[in-house]
Structure 1
Amino acid sequence: MSKKSYLLIVLGVVLLVGIGVFMYSQRPVVKAEGKWAGNLLIMENDSWNLQFSTPLKKDTVTPQNIYVKDSDGRDVNVILKLSEDRHSLQVLAPNEGYPLKPQAFTLHISPNVKTKWGLSYTGDTEIPFAVTSHLPSIQSGEALTKYFKDVLKLNKESPRFSLFGREEKMESASSEDSASGESDFSTTNNQVQGVDEGDLVKTDGKYIYQLTDRKLLITKVKPEMERISTISFEEHVQPQHLFLNGDQVLVIGNSWSPPLKEGDQGSQSKILPVEGMTVALLYDVSNKDKPSLQRKVELEGQYKASRKVDSTVYLISSMYPNYWMLERDADLDVRPRVSDSLTGDDAEPIPFESIKYFPKSTSPNYTLLTALDMENPKAPLAVSSYLGGGEAVYMSKENLYIAVEKYEGRDSLNTNIYKFAVHDGEITYASSGKVEGRTLNQFFMDEHKGYFRIATTDGEVWSNDSPSSNALYILDENMKNVGEVKDLARGEKIYSVRFMGDKAYMVTFKQVDPLFVIDTEDPTHPKVLGELKIPGFSTYLHPIDDRHLIGFGYDTKVINDGKDTNIEPRITRKGMKMSLFDITDFHHPKETDTEIIGGAGTHSNLLEDHKALLHEPSRNLYGFPVSVYNEKEGSQHELDFDYQGALLYEITPEKGIVLKSKLTDEGSKDKEYYEQWEDQIQRLLYIDDQLYTVSNHSITSYSLGDYKKTDSIEIN
Structure 2
Amino acid sequence: MNMKLVVAIAGAMALTACDGNDRDDNNTVSGVDYSKLKTTPQTDAPLTLVSGEALNQHIKNGLRLKVSPTNYYRLDASGGAVAEVALPAAPPAADAAVSAGGGDSDNFSQTNVHVSGVDEADYAKYDGSHWFIATYPEYDPYRTDNFPGINVVATDPSAVSAEVVGHVALDSEWGGVSEMYLVENGESTSHVATLRNQWGNVYPVMPGFGFPAFDVSVDVMRMPAIEPFFGDIYYPHPVNSETKIQLVDVADASAPAIDWTLSVEGSLVDSRKVGNMLYLVTRFDPWIANLQFENGSKGVRSENEDALSAVAVQQLLPTYTINDGEAVTLADSCYVQDGISTTYGYASLVNITAVNLSDKTVVSSRCINGSVESLSVNPDSMYLTGTVWDDRMAERQQTVIHKFSLGADGAHYQASGSVKGYIGHRGDPAFKLHEHNGDLRIVTSTGRQWDNTIAHHLSILEEDNGTLKTVASLPNANRPAPIGKPGEDIYSVRFQGDKGYIVTFRQTDPLYAVDLSDRTDPKISGELEIPGFATYMHPIGDDYIFAVGQDADENGRVTGMKVALVDVRGDSPKEIDTILLGARNSRSEALNNLRALSFFPVGNELRIAMPVDYYHAETAGAYGSWQHTGLHLFKVTGIDGDNARLVEAGVIVAEEAGPDKTRPSGSGHDRSAFHDDAVFYSHANSVWAAAWDAPENAIGPINSGPVICTADVRPSLQVTVNAPGGNACSAKVTAVHNGKAIGLRAAGIDSTCVFSGIDETPGPFYIEASLDNYSTESQSVVVYRDACHVETEKVELNLTSFENGCPEVASPPSVTAIVSNWNTGSDVCSDASVTVWQGKASYILKGEARLQKVSEARSLSIAPPQAQCIFTGANGVSGQVTMIAEIQGLGSQEKTDLFIKQRDRCSVEPITEYFYF
Report if TM-score (shorter chain) is over 0.5: yes
1:329-478 map, 5 Å: 329-330=304-305, 331=307, 335-341=316-322, 344-345=324-325, 347=327, 350=330, 353-358=332-337, 365-377=348-360, 379-408=361-390, 410-411=392-393, 412-440=396-424, 441-463=429-451, 467-477=453-463, 478=467
Residue 194 (str. 1) matches residue 117 (str. 2): yes
Q: Is the 8 A contact 1:703 1:710 kept in 2?
A: no
Letter in 2 for 1:225: A
Quick one: which amino acid aligns to residue 413 of structure 1? Q
* Aligned mate of 1:581, from 555, 566, 572: 566
- Does residue 249 of structure 1 match 2:192? yes
The one-letter code sitting in structure 2 at the alignment partner of 1:674 is: R
1:145-544 residue pairs with structure 2 within 5 A? 145-150=60-65, 156=71, 159-161=74-76, 183-213=106-136, 214-222=148-156, 224-238=161-175, 239-246=177-184, 247-256=190-199, 274-320=239-285, 327=293, 329-330=304-305, 331=307, 335-341=316-322, 344-345=324-325, 347=327, 350=330, 353-358=332-337, 365-377=348-360, 379-408=361-390, 410-411=392-393, 412-440=396-424, 441-463=429-451, 467-477=453-463, 478-486=467-475, 487-489=482-484, 490-544=486-540
- Evaluate the alpha carbon distance shift between residue 363 and residue 628 of structure 1 in structure 2; reply closer, same or farther with a 3 A threshold: farther
| Percent of aligned pairs with the same amino acid | 26
The one-letter amino acid of 1:194's match is G
Cα offset, 1:319, TM superposition: 2.9
Aligned match of 2:780: none
Q: Return the letter of the residue paired with 1:662.
A: V
Secondary structure at 1:620 match in 2: strand
Distance 2:114 2:372 in 1: 19
**TM-aligned CA distance change 1:292 to 1:712, over 3 Å:** same
Conservation of the 8 A alpha-carbon contact between 1:178 and 1:192: no
Shift of 1:648: 0.4
Q: In the superposition, relative to structure 1, how do residues 380 and 182 fare at CA in structure 2: closer, same or farther (>3 Å)?
A: closer
User: Counterpart in 2 of 1:640?
Assistant: 625
- Write the distance in 1 (CA, Å) between the matches of 2:487 and 2:110: 39
| CA displacement at 1:413 relative to structure 2 | 2.4
SS at match of 1:596: strand
**In the TM superposition, what is the alpha-carbon distance from 1:442 to its structure 2 partner?**
0.4
What letter matches 1:629 in structure 2?
Y
Q: Secondary structure, in 3 states, of the residue corresponding to 2:577?
A: strand
Alpha-carbon distance in 2 for matches of 1:234, 1:182 = 32
Amino acid at match of 1:581: V
Query: Using the alignment, how far apart are the partners of 1:154 and 1:503 within structure 2?
Result: 52
Question: Matches of 2:346 and 2:512 in 1, distance apart?
Answer: 34
Evaluate the alpha carbon distance shift between residue 433 and residue 695 of structure 1 in structure 2; reply closer, same or farther with a 3 A threshold.
same
1:647 and 1:317 mapped to 2: Cα distance?
36
8 A Cα contact 1:632 1:638, kept in partner: no
Distance 1:531-1:383 versus aligned 2 partners, 3 A rule: same
| Cα distance change on mapping 1:322 and 1:184 into 2, 3 Å | same
By how many angstroms is 1:470 displaced?
0.5
Give the aligned residue type for 1:372.
V
Q: Secondary structure at the match of 1:183?
A: helix
Name the stretch that deviates more: 649-658 or 542-551.
649-658
- Asked if structure 2 preserves the Cα contact closer than 8 Å seen for 1:404 and 1:416, the reply is yes
Q: C-alpha distance in 2, partners of 1:697/1:132?
A: 49
8 Å contact from structure 2 (residues 39, 345) kept in 1: no
**Alpha-carbon deviations, 1:417-460, whole Å to 9, x = none?**
22221112411122222111211410000000000001112111
- Contact residue 138 and residue 355 of structure 1 kept, 8 A: no
Residues 409, 704 of structure 1: alpha-carbon distance in 2 compared, 3 angstrom cutoff:
closer
Distance 1:194 1:462 in 2: 39
Q: 1:350 to 1:622 in 2, by over 3 A?
A: closer
Given that 1:605 and 1:625 are in contact with CA atoms closer than 8 Å, whether structure 2 keeps it comes out as yes
- Structure 1 portions without partners, runs of 5+: 1-34, 48-130, 166-175, 259-271, 560-570
Tell which deviates more after alignment, 625-634 or 652-661. Answer: 625-634
- Larger of the two Rg values belongs to structure: 2
3-state secondary structure, aligned to 1:606: helix
Q: Distance in 2 between matches of 1:401 and 1:301?
A: 20
The aligned length equals 557
Cα 1:163–1:480 change in 2 (3 A) is closer
Question: Structure 1 CA distance, aligned partners of 2:531 and 2:656?
Answer: 35
Are the aligned partners of 2:60 and 2:347 in contact in 1 as well (CA < 8 Å)? no
Q: Which amino acid in 2 is paired with 1:327? A: F
Tell me the amino acid that sits aligned with residue 471 of structure 2: V
Structure 1 letter corresponding to 2:389:
Y
Contact 1:185 1:688 (8 Å CA) reproduced: yes
Aligned residue number for residue 24 of structure 2: none
Which residue identity lines up with residue 233 of structure 1 in the other structure?
Answer: L
Write the distance in 1 (CA, Å) between the matches of 2:116 and 2:35.
41
8 Å Cα contact 2:655/2:664 also seen in 1: no
Moved more, 487-496 or 325-334: 325-334
Q: TM-score scaled to structure 1, two decimals?
A: 0.71
2-structure distance, mates of 1:509, 1:164: 33
- Cα 1:36–1:323 shift into 2, 3 Å: farther
Report the Cα distance in structure 1 between the residues aligned to 2:79 and 2:591, rounded to whole angstroms. Answer: 26
Displacement after TM superposition at 1:133 (Å) = 5.6
Q: Which has the higher contact order (CA 8 A, sep 6+)?
A: 2
TM-score with structure 2 setting the length: 0.56
CA distance in 2, matches of 1:492, 1:714: 46
Gaps of 5+ in 2: 1-33, 81-96, 137-147, 185-189, 202-236, 295-303, 476-481, 706-917
Distance (whole Å) between structure 1 residues aligned to residue 39 and residue 352 of structure 2: 26
Task: Report how far residue 541 of structure 1 moved.
Answer: 0.6
Conserved in 1, the CA contact under 8 Å of 2:61 and 2:346? no
Question: Could you tell me how far apart the structure 2 residues matched to 1:472 and 1:445 are?
Answer: 10
